Structure 1
Amino acid sequence: MKWEHALADFKTYLHIERGLSQHSIDNYAYDIQKLIFFLENSEKDITPININHHTITDFIYHISKEVKPRSQARIISGLRSFFNYLIFENYRKGNPVEQIEAPRLGRKLPDTLSTKDIDNLIAAIDLTREFNGVRIGERDKVMIETLYSCGLRVSELTGLKLSDLFFEEGFIKVTGKGNKQRFIPINQGSQKMIERYITEVRSQINIKPEFKDTLFLNNRGSALTRAMVFTIIKNLAKDINLNKTISPHTFRHSFATHLLENGADLRAIQLMLGHESITTTEIYMHLDRSHLKEVLTKFHPRRAL
């Protein structure tokens, strides 16, 4: 079996069986290509079937000089999944990555914004800004409000559809990682902003047929790209001289942190974020120690001693 064939079959498996997004599939493929490139440069006649633990170890040692521990851990995890797939398909018996330990990573606390930062970012949006007759300033405001008020991933935001809006019930339907769907409550203020955007801004766009159901559009009538949302947020941060490196995901982290600070239940936050494990959500418990102190002072039975 050639590497190209094995990789193509693995990508098909990730798409059909695992339901991963194209972005996730591309990341898996990119990391496996690193191994293929390493083998080609070393002129070793090694196939996906006969590659062994020692060769994988040599590869990991090689990339450790070039990539950070977090990237090393991701590559090892991806290779382990790849060879597990080959075992599943009866192409080979053992996993050559099984005994390789990923680098130990410290838990990285996510960057967050204060409510004042978010207010300043939204206030900095020029609502009169137009492009080819499309009021993109108003679109950007609604988009960022939705990103923050619902705690969405950027791919969930750009993939949001008109048919996903259930405003009478007070929810939106979101398609997250692995095409898993969840319902997220949306406040009335955000609902009104979205409705006004649909009526006054989106209706003025010449929409391409394949994007008739897509909520947020560019001036050419196509779906916004993830890169465009990154650029919009980066430029806003620059406009207000915000000395932080932020991205769309920063609003998602801020959403979770602010809910927790105001007493929201961790399980409820987990469901809204779409985390499979509560341990992923628990990272937000580490962000605001002053809040934890208030909880202890208020609720511990021996607080008055």
Structure 2
Amino acid sequence: MNLQLDPALNETENADALQGQLEQHDLVRLLLADRRSENTRRAYAADLNDFFRFSFRSLPSPEYVRQFLNLPVSEMTMLLFRYKANLMERGLAEATVNRRLAAVKSLVRFARRIGLTDVVLEGRVVGERIRPYRDTTGIDGALARELVNSIDTTTLVGKRDVVLLLLLLENALRRAEIVALRVGDYEAEKGTLSITGKGRGTQKEIVRLSPRLQQALRDYLSASGHAESVTAPLFISLSNCHRGQALTADGVYKIVRARAKACGIRKPISPHRLRHTAITLALDLSQGDIRRVQRLSRHARLETLRIYDDNRQDLQGEISETLSRYLSEGESSKSV
């Protein structure tokens, strides 16, 4: 944003002039540019588009954004309440409702930072209460092993896909982390990958690869022919239409689904379910060592891994069976 001060104007006049220049700017574009993560920018754009379609029957043009920000706090709050009710009527998940409300609040908060409104929405419209990470189910270890070993690695597609699956199952990478990888992120001498982790902005995290994965990665890069270009995407599409282009998040999802189906796995499988599989299997193999597995999962909070551990052990199911046995024994002794 290139705002201009006029040396011929005093401080108050310059402030008014800057305010006018800001109002002419596309505030949504400025908000998105203020976010580092491409995934966050994409989600915010979609959510704000949805809000303005509901509120103004239009995309968020500078004019409609200005109209929204000029609303009194009571009208702005009521509009957000009506939007929340609409989201719930559409049957959207609680997390989606909360994310869309958060996008609108972020727009207002950003506008307040640069002096376009003094409205504070925090605490006025509260999101839905959710329990994150309720479903941590994946597939068992034997199926995971079969899924990897079922791939024909004599083809370039097979060489690529086995590396993808191993990154999900051995290093518990997220889909967005995989598609962001570049050839230069792999350090062959150290056997490591530099990844852009969730919530870390542009800061890189180092993950160590197993000898098997290192060999699979070298085989893939050697066969693909793009190992010398450090800025090239690590994973490329091998389809006729998009050959050589960066593999997208949707592409990773389709590869995982297709490989699971070809392996005879009936349960719907996604990249994130394979990440769940890796974390749960790691807890099994480490006898529930949550702190060690946190290094693999890179979850910020240990409480998240405790949910994985509880689901893995099925503590509720075990205690329910104990109660059932006790109650059944009571009935037996009573009948005697």
TM-score bin, normalised by smaller chain: 0.7 to 0.9
Q: What percentage of aligned pairs have identical amino acids?
A: 21
- Structure-to-structure mapping, 1:78-117, within 5 angstroms: 78-107=103-132, 108-117=134-143
Residue in 1 aligned with 2:311? 287
Deviation at 1:11, TM superposition (A): 0.9
Q: Matched residue of 1:287: which SS? A: helix
State the one-letter code of the partner of 1:217.
I
Cα deviation digits, residues 45-74 of structure 1 (max 9, x gap): 942242521121111112211123232122
Is the radius of gyration larger for structure 1 or structure 2? 2
- The alignment's TM-score, normalised by the length of structure 2, stands at 0.73
Matched, 1:8 2:29: yes
Cα deviation digits, residues 98-148 of structure 1 (max 9, x gap): 32221122442223121111122223323355xxxxx21222112211222
Cα deviation digits, residues 138-166 of structure 1 (max 9, x gap): 22112211222111111211222232223
**Larger deviation, residues 266-275 vs 149-158:** 266-275
Deviation at 1:187, TM superposition (A): 1.1
Cα deviation digits, residues 32-91 of structure 1 (max 9, x gap): 12221112149x994224252112111111221112323212212222222222222222
Residue in 1 aligned with 2:234? 215
Matched, 1:38 2:54: yes
Matched, 1:55 2:55: no
Deviation at 1:174, TM superposition (A): 0.8
Residue in 2 aligned with 1:125? 151
Contact 1:261–1:291 at 8 Å: present in 2 too?
no
Contact 1:6–1:48 at 8 Å: present in 2 too?
no
Between the two proteins, the alignment pairs up a number of residues equal to: 279
Q: Matched residue of 1:179: which SS? A: coil
Change in 2 beyond 3 A, CA 1:87/1:280: farther
Contact 2:159–2:219 at 8 Å: present in 1 too?
no
Residue in 1 aligned with 2:266? 243
Change in 2 beyond 3 A, CA 1:41/1:285: same
Residue in 2 aligned with 1:23? 39
State the one-letter code of the partner of 1:202.
S
Contact 2:256–2:271 at 8 Å: present in 1 too?
yes
Please give the alpha-carbon distance, in whole angstroms, between the structure 2 residues aligned to 1:185 and 1:193. 14
Residue in 1 aligned with 2:181? 160
Please give the alpha-carbon distance, in whole angstroms, between the structure 2 residues aligned to 1:80 and 1:90. 15
Please give the alpha-carbon distance, in whole angstroms, between the structure 2 residues aligned to 1:28 and 1:175. 20
State the one-letter code of the partner of 1:85.
F
> 174, 187, 192: which one pairs with 2:210?
187
Change in 2 beyond 3 A, CA 1:180/1:98: farther
Deviation at 1:292, TM superposition (A): 11
Change in 2 beyond 3 A, CA 1:233/1:197: same
State the one-letter code of the partner of 2:297.
L
Contact 1:147–1:248 at 8 Å: present in 2 too?
yes
RMSD of Structure 2 on Structure 1 (CA): 3.0
Change in 2 beyond 3 A, CA 1:210/1:84: farther
Please give the alpha-carbon distance, in whole angstroms, between the structure 2 residues aligned to 1:149 and 1:5. 44
Matched, 1:147 2:168: yes
| Structure 2 unpaired stretches of 5+ | 1-21, 59-63, 318-336
